[in-house]
Amino acid sequence: MKHIIGGKPGEPRSPQAAPVAVRLVEVHPDDAGQRLDNFLMRHLKGVPKTHIYRIIRQGEVRINKGRTSADARVQPGDVVRIPPVRVSSKPEESERAVPAREFPLLLDDDVMLAINKPAGVAVHGGSGVSFGVIEQLRRAHPDARFLELVHRLDRETSGILLVAKKRSALTHLQNQFRERETGKTYLALVLGAWPANKKVIDTPLRKYLLPDGERRVRATTADDPEGMRSVSLVKVQQLFPAQHPLGLPALSLLEVTIKTGRTHQIRVHLASSGHAIAGDEKYGDFDLNKRLAKQGLKRMFLHAWRLQFNHPQTAERVELGAELPPELADFVAAASAAE
């Protein structure tokens, strides 16, 4: 690939260096099916998204010499015209600030990897977060042509996270998630004694925004036109009695298998059933969370525990497991000892 940043050898780079040439980039098979805007973001690192969309609208970006749109899908062998753009040095400095990081591996082969994500780490950079798991993995593996998240986990949720190394694997796995062909089971510790006969939660969920623009989800009714059908299966794994001297209620360790993948589905389903997840700062009992923190639970007790899917290359059924991290396992052990 040609370097298009201006400046003669030995000259100091100005804060905004001007490129001097158009680039013609042939689409690699691994990038097949990728949206044009995402394709450009990978090739124009440091360029604001608004500028990328502008040069597409103005016809400066072309596929096979023809004008195109941001949502066009590139195909192997396509030639993408990328015009000269100004790239600020600041984004490059920001990119260098992303620390390389490896995560505990559950699976690693030619087309994908599965990691055991710790709590407190976002899966990607975004609102209020400069980087996440995927940016750190790319930094740790600079020679990797392709690394993309297959799905997402909330920042405070730990457990199994899949990353694709090839576009074909990404598409294959995401189709399985979309068609509900995967098996996803979480461990959640909830407040109160969960009734053993309550095994299915089939309650629609609806997204909404708080006045400050933060996203939230609430349970709604089947006749709500903006409600999305959401189904969770619940199995009680262990019950813990109340610890009245500590001001703690009974607790239930649940296995929750989700049949749909809505935003905050497990958190809202359990909270709307009267059994919020312990440590949940959005949908939980805030006063009780403080008492739980004093007993060692300083995070939300939600962990992506088991995941089943068909391998995108071999089609074999794969089952992955990630045991509870120490901070959750220790709390469960302490609660068991108090019985």
The distance of Cα 215 from the centroid of its chain, to the nearest Å, equals 15
| Dist. CA 94–CA 73, nearest whole Å | 29
Helix (H) or strand (E) holding 125: none
Q: Taking Cα atoms as reference points, which of 169, 63, 65, 58 lies closest to residue 107?
A: 169
Residue 247: count of CB within 10 angstroms of its CB: 14
Block residue for tokens 């030639």: 79
Helix (H) or strand (E) holding 106: strand 105-108
Q: How many CA atoms lie within 13 A of 153 on its CB side?
A: 31
Q: What is the pLDDT of residue 85?
A: 85
Residue 12: what pLDDT? 40
Q: Contact at 8 Å (CB) between 332 and 324? A: yes
Q: Check: CB of residue 176 under 8 Å from CB of residue 295.
A: no
Distances (CA, A) of 123 to 31, 84, 184: 21, 32, 18
Q: Which long-range contacts (CB under 8 A, 24 or more apart) does 278-283 make?
A: 278/189, 278/190, 278/191, 278/251, 279/156, 279/189, 281/156, 282/216
Q: Which two tokens stand for residue 93?
A: 């400095």
Is 154 a known active-site residue? Answer: yes
Show pLDDT as tens, one digit a residue, over the chain (339 residues): 333 333 333 344 444 444 558 999 999 887 877 889 888 988 887 788 788 888 999 999 999 999 999 888 899 899 999 999 876 555 444 455 789 999 999 999 999 999 999 999 999 876 667 789 999 999 999 888 899 999 999 999 999 999 999 989 999 999 999 999 999 999 999 999 999 899 999 999 999 988 887 889 999 999 999 999 999 999 999 999 999 999 999 999 999 999 999 999 999 999 999 999 999 999 999 999 999 999 999 999 999 999 999 999 999 999 999 999 999 999 999 999 876
Q: Which of 143, 154, 212, 280 is catalytic?
A: 154
